[in-house]
Structure 1
Amino acid sequence: MAFSTAGNRWRRAWLAVLAVSVAAGCDSGGDPRPAPGGLATSSAVSAPSGMPDLDAGEEVARGVDVPWGLAFLPGGDALVAERDTGRVLRVALGGGDPVEVYRVPGVAAGGEGGLLGLAVSPGYAQNSLVYAYFTAERDNRIVRFRLDGGQPEVVFDGIAKARTHNGGRIAFGPDGMLYVGTGDAGDTDRSQDPASPNGKILRLTPDGEPAPGNPTAGSPVYSLGHRNVQGLAWDTQGRLFATEFGQNELDEVNRVEPGRNYGWPEVEGDGDTAGGRYTNPLVTWPVRDASPSGIAIAGNTAYVAALRGERLWSLPLDGDTVGDPSARLDGSHGRLRTVQVAPDGALWVTTSNTDGRGDVRDGDDRILRFPAR
């Protein structure tokens, strides 16, 4: 496995150890154009202190090409990544067609790879930086850029790629560090290999270096033993939860703690912890009912977007335990990829019916908004 940039620097150090500029409303400096079939129809009032009303959904965009990453600018507008085109679209809360504000160069879409996760810098008001995880010609990598143009800067690379199991979710945590969910890229041994970034949750500085306070100094690895992580979210107490695709039997939601090993490939779902070496998940589903991608938390409820299951799982959180999951939006919109809580408390959900595995409906793919009451 070859690493370069921050990834190479980490690998060399680790092997030794083992021995949108759119502030307030500016668009891209290029010629913005709407997404095909774009439609924004409403912006119902939402209360940041409320809970999403899943019976009051509204469509804010349609005709989006395999939406994957979703992140919010400080003013409430959303940035959406199109997996196969490499485009970043801006979806205005107040209405209007989605507008292309950036196109990430070097995206090599194929299978489950392409332009995947997006994250907006916590210091966006000062630095205007947006981060993206994408599949390039030789690897998966993370770059950052400004929406007013210019080439992106690679901050971490060398994450092995494949047609499946590319992971791809990125998010800034309450500590200001960048968390990254990766997949095993089809090689299960990588998940248990501490020198590989695959099959892990990584914790990086905004510059792409291993974050201070990681379980092993000089390593970006925060947790290991994962198969394919595509969802990251924190509750009000700062605890991290992650979704994980199972193989043939059980999908998972894990409460992620630093240095823990979540068992893959030795364990799928609940199983023998080998005397505490492995950590069991909080909740599991049969893969036909879930295939979980995004996760978001509002109040004491986690929302999990299910692809194969074509539903939104609502999961009550109670300290370190969970209540009984309930299925919402069951089959009403097809495959669901990403779910995020907006600054105004509304829950945004993207469909994924044009990804080659869904039944395409008129207007797909869509971005839906559920205001908080």
Structure 2
Amino acid sequence: MGRGRDRVVVGGVAGAAAVLLLAGGCGSPPDGDPGRPSSPPAASASPAPSAPAGAPRVAGVLTQGLRSPWGLAELPGGDLLVSSRDERTVTRIDARTGRKTPLGEVPGVVPGGEGGLLGIAVRDGRLYAYLTSATDNRIVRMRYGGGPGDRLGPPEPVLTGIPKGVIHNGGRIAFGPDGMLYAGTGETGRTGLAQDRGSLGGKILRMTPEGGPAPGNPFPGSVVYSYGHRNVQGLAWDPAGRLWASEFGQDTWDELNLIRPGGDYGWPVVEGRAGRAGFTDPVAQWRTGEASPSGIAFARGAIWMAGLRGERLWRIPLSGAERSGDPEAFLRGEYGRLRTVLATGGGARLWLVTSETDTRGTPGPGDDMILRLEVG
């Protein structure tokens, strides 16, 4: 499929660059770029008549020219912070104009392979970041007031000792509705770590904002919340407070899982649905070429899941803890690899981050971008 781009620009600062044809990022190796049309399709004010009911509409490009974007967080006033995996930097994005303000480089980040400056989250005047250091993956926090001219404070360790590797570093972090900090980790290619409850690799972790075991964790004295994961890439909660997570499979099945405290999600014993006692099956699964899922968000009764190798945005409709319909795919190949999705505006809109400059994509003019999608 070609990668035609709607040329609606959200911010007024895109200037002449907005007329460029934009081109569209960690799972299995990319399928390659079969070519782009010579000109983008015309942008429309509403979905085409043939679009499925409730299909998202790309309302515009907020900003472009990002390099290896990974984590995305919304500030209390609505502006965004985006991390660069390989450049080790955090940039503030004006949510109205798309104007980029560099906040600085995060000390101690050692990029390499799938590691670097990964997920970010904002809480009580601090920016939390999941990063790869010289010795481990770790979570740190930095003071950031968010006012004009504010810069990041020095990093303070929150949790250290998460295993690192060239691959499968996990990296997504988010604060849950309970006020606790959650993190998705990977098994770094050492599959046995996923079943080892004494290791922080191949897990979902739950901790206080200071990094200690959260009250009510299933394993006393431990930050481990669930285990048996290969490489958790997305975390999101539905309105009932249920935690959902996306996960890279190996050769057969990628997964969307409903996370329960103390649950064993099977890796490396099983991949995808197995129906075996003692393991929790995914709510939805995909062939790896269709997904290689990264970030997820909940909006309008569904989980929205960004696909890297799959180069599409998936919607998984939910009814309580169960699927209420088949997953639907949107934006197939239109913007390339998709890394992060974030709900905003009460779930009426999504911010969607492309990932063509992560060494596995085929970047074109304008990559990488943050898109605004209307889902209301």
TM bin (shorter chain):
0.7 to 0.9
Answering whether residue 131 of structure 2 is matched by residue 134 of structure 1, we say: yes
Q: Give the C-alpha shift of residue 344 in structure 1.
A: 5.2
Deviation larger for 336-345 or 309-318: 336-345
After TM superposition, list the pairs within 5 Å mapping 1:179-198 onto structure 2.
179-198=182-201
Indicate yes or no: 2:310 matched with 1:309: yes
Residue ranges of structure 2 left out of the alignment (5+ in a row) = 1-12, 19-44, 46-52, 145-150
Q: Deviations over 1:147-199 (max 9, x none)?
A: 33431100101011111000000000000000000000111110000100100
Q: Hey, what's the Cα distance between the residues in 2 that align with 1:242 and 1:333?
A: 23
CA contact (8 A) 1:251 1:290 kept: yes
Instruction: Determine the C-alpha separation between the residues in 2 that align with 1:102 and 1:348.
Output: 23
Alpha-carbon contact 2:57-2:374 (below 8 Å) kept: no
The residue number in structure 2 matching 1:299 is 300
Deviating more after overlay: 343-352 vs 165-174: 343-352
CA contact (8 A) 1:53 1:370 kept: no
Residue by residue over 1:315-370, the C-alpha shift from the partner in whole angstroms, topping out at 9 and shown as x without a partner, is 10112211200110111000000001124542000001111111112110111111
Confirm or deny that 1:57 pairs with 2:54.
no
**C-alpha distance in 2 between matches for 1:243 and 1:354:** 22
Contact 1:38 1:61 survives alignment (8 Å): no
Which residue does 2:322 correspond to in 1? 321
1:210 aligns with 2:213: yes
> Counterpart of 1:118 in structure 2: which amino acid?
I
1:85, distance to aligned residue in structure 2 (A): 0.7
Distance 1:173 1:232 in 2: 9
Task: Name the residue aligned to 2:140.
Answer: 143
State the Cα distance separating 1:97 from its structure 2 match: 2.3
Q: Distance in 2 between matches of 1:318 and 1:98?
A: 39
1:243-296: CA deviation from partner (whole Å, max 9, x where unpaired): 0000001000000000110000000001142x2x10000010000000000000
Which position in structure 2 is the counterpart of 1:248?
251
Provide the rounded CA distance (Å) in 1 between the counterparts of 2:343 and 2:184: 19
Asked if 1:157 is matched to 2:154, the reply is no
Q: Which residue does 1:348 correspond to in 2?
A: 351
What residue is the counterpart of 1:279 in the other structure? Answer: 280
Kept in 1, the 8 Å contact 2:55–2:330? The answer is no
Distance 1:38 1:158, change over 3 A: farther
Q: Is the 8 A contact 2:57 2:375 kept in 1?
A: no
Q: Deviations over 1:124-157 (max 9, x none)?
A: 2xxx111000101111000000233431100101
Q: CA deviation at 1:371?
A: 3.4
* 1:251-266 map, 5 Å: 251-266=254-269
Structure 1, unaligned runs of 5 or more: 1-33, 45-50
Which segment drifts farther, 343-352 or 87-96?
343-352
Measure the CA separation in 1 of the matches of 2:354 and 2:98. Answer: 19
Indicate the residue corresponding to 2:365 in structure 1. 362
Post-superposition shift, 1:372?
Answer: 4.7
Q: Which runs of 4+ in 1 moved over 6 A?
A: none
2:9 is matched with which residue?
A: none
Match of 1:30 in 2: none
Match of residue 71 from structure 2: 69
- The number of residues matched between the two structures is 322
Question: What is the distance in 2 between the residues matched to 1:38 and 1:111?
Answer: 31
Residue in 2 aligned with 1:238? Answer: 241
- How many percent identity over aligned positions? 54
Q: 114, 117, 121: which is aligned to 1:115?
A: 117
Letter paired with 1:306: G
Find the aligned partners of 1:263 and 1:53 in 2 and give their Cα distance.
Answer: 33
Q: What is the alpha-carbon distance in structure 1 between the residues aligned to residue 249 and residue 375 of structure 2? A: 32
SS where residue 349 of structure 1 aligns? Answer: strand
In 2, the alpha carbon distance for the partners of 1:230 and 1:73 equals 21
What letter matches 2:305 in structure 1?
V
**Which residue of 333, 337, 340 corresponds with 1:338?**
340
Distance in 2, matches of 1:278 and 1:266, equals 9
Question: Residues of 1 paired with 2:153 and 2:58: CA distance?
Answer: 40
Match of 1:17 in 2: none
Identify the residue that residue 290 of structure 1 maps to in structure 2.
291
